[in-house]
Structure 1
């Protein structure tokens, strides 16, 4: 049995082939996008395309809350929860939740790790800060519920956090053990969670020790998760941990015993922020625990069913932004004649320059190098001046060359450079990225015409080229 659905995975350094294969193989509950997955709106579009093309019903989330914690490009900045809470008008939280949800949905998200239901205290660490709506538990509850309703109305799954409340912790659980010494199950910090439970389908736990009730952090506390949250408060939804890489968890529970504690305490999904480094070891711990009957299989099967129900409810492959990727893909004209050596590739790309005052080509060309490096490990990249055709070096005979052509019919010296490539390599692919009038110069060659300089179009050309490695000749 594949137990991948019991994990939520992050790949902060990008969705390369290795990351995508992990997702494809283990089929997790979901994937979180970090700033490294979306340095720009264009790169966010590409990350989403990669995830949706896996055709797996994933929950796709970010931790974009507004204000202190904003991660998704293209969403207008908010003053944040605390400023909102000062207005005395909870309807603003609903309006912001709806705005945020609609933007997230447009980009392809179906979930968000928000809202923060923690209460701000004088002792609160900076990690809580202005992420909290108020110093009043009732205000936090009122605003939190409205925020949740706005997100849900937009088709986004909200996540209340960090149960049972991070506000009293003076330490940052990202960096060290965090302990709350003044706590009970009648604590005011629990009020926002109690009042929100009927609105929520998933809660995130804190990695904080609440010393009066347990010596373990809440994320692995049976007393807090199972006995109090699920049995006493009758919460029927799912419980997800905060990231296991946070030191309060990682330094104490990144072990087989920690995995056993989490799932036996009532936890449903473990969040692995650095999945490339940490997931497979955790997964092995879990399999060993199942084999040793330290975790009951029937309990796990019930968790997986609830996760699958949530995936079916929120996953929709036809998100509105997908239209733009579809146009970019359909606009390609492809004629690849040769087999290329994927282990010995050189890319020739134009320097990031606009061709006129009414042109923003440079914005996309600036991101092209990073895109190529993320798709092809250990490749070589050579830059050329599109106007003069000048270049610092040329590819070697044994190398396969992919050259991005930028209006070479206008710039004769660039055209000379492009044609000269055939003297240095027998395998050259020309990707014509601007005016298809250039095609007349390359009809006898392997080529892809994008009819666009936008990064999403360049990405679709690269994607089509990668398919050639798998299927041989491609002609459309």
Structure 2
């Protein structure tokens, strides 16, 4: 027994989450004693159930939680995917759900920017488009480690991240700011750094959305997007980050719901239901041996043309190892069993996939499952070093597009107007700036500002020596176009024409293209999103506490292409 344990530890050190391994769930682990001992006890029905993951929330009340518990207990599913809620509630519910199954569940979540993507009272790291501006990928690796710690602390084993789509369509309604940008090399490098950090922290990762969801103007939650690109284009651009991540030992891939005629000419078939794409390209051509996970199986992009459970059975036949969030898992299991009896898929293929899921559970430590310890949970998830990293990432992302000399010559003693667009109360940005610019006055221009108010403010601002502006997108998520009136946009253009104006855009960088004239500003900073850490970071650049270090992660327009940014060495 002692020799067996030593050998097993050696294999784990080689194959576990080592990103240099070509096969992140290797055969030696699949054949481990634990996997074999669990597998041989499974009936065909129980095997199929291991491939199904159910949806869970902790913000929908007791009745909903109990209904999910009933499904988990009766169907003995392979995993659960948590959505919105709170950390303590989720930890308690995780323990409850795990107690209902004979084989521990893989507990998963979409945590692209950390637990804060789904849970209150937890940290949100910057969006991936913001991270795309950072020039030091070791920080992104560290973020992956920290997120991995948080997931393990919450009793979770799998993160549906990173997003490795190349967002080369500014109007993309579903990826956009979730992508590292429109440069495939930058997307690959940062996605791999993030993935490596999480995997080396013991978390299963799931790069998405294969073969690439970045160049579409249709949201697959609501309809089926179609990618009418050539095989050569898809291979050289969309698939590039996934191919590189697979080489680096990626443990999982999530497949998108997209119709791609160049890869599968079957009418209206989404990539999640395409055997030529999943088995032919991903598993065979790209030699991917990790877990293949479908995107949510209730999305319109997959059920629009394949309703009533047909999508589930087709996804299984196509080669998915995990079917995420079936509309009806009991029906899915029944239809997949029928497909196997009819010979539509070989029993050996089912067995291989089940072993992969069990091996993943083994690698994630579920062979020695322990309930979540709720003592000091919220404090652990909001520890000081994690908050420091959140700010450090923000500091390194802020991008100075123009105006280095103006910022260097700003005088804290001169009369300074500090203006916030889209705000009705003092912003973090303004609070920080007033500590340095003591001879200042604050102005607010709400999204509802009318022409007389705008004219009065413009008249006032003419008397100031310096004008520092913040443009704030107050919406929950940073869209590609600001929801500002044409009058507000004209006001921004008027102010940008002043020689003494510094503008920080706390919004999606694509919004800069929708503000004609802003390129005339004396200084312009792209700050990517509205959150406080980015406002702190911009204020620190303007007050010369830090030097700008970011470079634009997407091409905005001819003035500001990808890679724009004045980078200063030093602080």
Shorter-normalised TM range: 0.5 to 0.7
Q: Please state if 1:317 is matched with 2:369.
A: yes
- How big is the shift at 1:309? 1.1
Classify the secondary structure of the residue corresponding to 1:25. Answer: helix
Q: Please state if 1:52 is matched with 2:98.
A: yes
| CA displacement, residues 78-99 of structure 1 (integer Å, 9 cap, x when unaligned) | 2211111111221221111111
Aligned to 1:270: 323
Q: Please state if 1:22 is matched with 2:71.
A: yes
- How big is the shift at 1:260? 3.6
Distance, in Å, in 1 between the alignment partners of 2:372 and 2:320 is 33
303-312 vs 62-71, which moves further: 62-71
Aligned to 2:281: 228
Contact 1:57 1:312 in 2 (8 A): no
Q: Please state if 1:9 is matched with 2:54.
A: yes
Distance, in Å, in 2 between the alignment partners of 1:124 and 1:272 is 27
What TM-score comes out, normalization by structure 1 length?
A: 0.63
Distance, in Å, in 2 between the alignment partners of 1:18 and 1:78 is 32
Q: Unpaired segments of 5 or more residues in structure 1?
A: 326-476
Aligned to 2:356: 306
| CA displacement, residues 209-265 of structure 1 (integer Å, 9 cap, x when unaligned) | 112222421111122111111111111112110001110101122345433432222
Q: Please state if 1:258 is matched with 2:305.
A: no
Of 263, 278, 285, 2:335 maps to 285
**Distance verdict in 2 for CA 1:48–1:258, change over 3 Å:** closer
- How big is the shift at 1:54? 2.6
| CA displacement, residues 152-193 of structure 1 (integer Å, 9 cap, x when unaligned) | 122111111100000012100001110111242523111110
**Mapping of residues 153-192 of structure 1, within 5 Å:** 153-184=200-231, 185-192=234-241
- How big is the shift at 1:6? 1.6
Q: Unpaired segments of 5 or more residues in structure 2?
A: 1-42, 378-571
Contact 1:128 1:166 in 2 (8 A): yes
Q: Please state if 1:91 is matched with 2:138.
A: yes
Contact 1:64 1:72 in 2 (8 A): no
What TM-score comes out, normalization by structure 2 length?
A: 0.53
Distance, in Å, in 2 between the alignment partners of 1:22 and 1:319 is 20
Contact 2:132 2:181 in 1 (8 A): yes
Contact 2:252 2:292 in 1 (8 A): yes
Classify the secondary structure of the residue corresponding to 1:180. Answer: coil
- How big is the shift at 1:52? 2.8
Distance, in Å, in 1 between the alignment partners of 2:298 and 2:310 is 16
**Distance verdict in 2 for CA 1:219–1:177, change over 3 Å:** same
Q: Please state if 1:210 is matched with 2:232.
A: no
Distance, in Å, in 2 between the alignment partners of 1:240 and 1:272 is 11
Distance, in Å, in 2 between the alignment partners of 1:24 and 1:310 is 21
| CA displacement, residues 21-46 of structure 1 (integer Å, 9 cap, x when unaligned) | 321232222110011xx2x2331222
Kindly tell me the number of residue pairs found equivalent between the two proteins: 319
Contact 2:116 2:123 in 1 (8 A): no
Distance, in Å, in 2 between the alignment partners of 1:31 and 1:54 is 12
Distance, in Å, in 1 between the alignment partners of 2:375 and 2:359 is 27
Contact 1:63 1:113 in 2 (8 A): yes
Classify the secondary structure of the residue corresponding to 1:32. Answer: strand
Distance, in Å, in 1 between the alignment partners of 2:116 and 2:225 is 20
Of 91, 113, 124, 1:66 maps to 113
**Distance verdict in 2 for CA 1:321–1:273, change over 3 Å:** farther
Distance, in Å, in 2 between the alignment partners of 1:89 and 1:176 is 37
CA RMSD of aligned residues (A): 2.2
Q: Please state if 1:148 is matched with 2:195.
A: yes
Aligned to 2:295: 242
- How big is the shift at 1:320? 5.7
Q: Please state if 1:193 is matched with 2:242.
A: yes
Q: Please state if 1:297 is matched with 2:347.
A: yes
Classify the secondary structure of the residue corresponding to 1:65. Answer: coil
**Distance verdict in 2 for CA 1:301–1:27, change over 3 Å:** same
- How big is the shift at 1:324? 6.8
**Mapping of residues 339-418 of structure 1, within 5 Å:** none
- How big is the shift at 1:319? 5.7
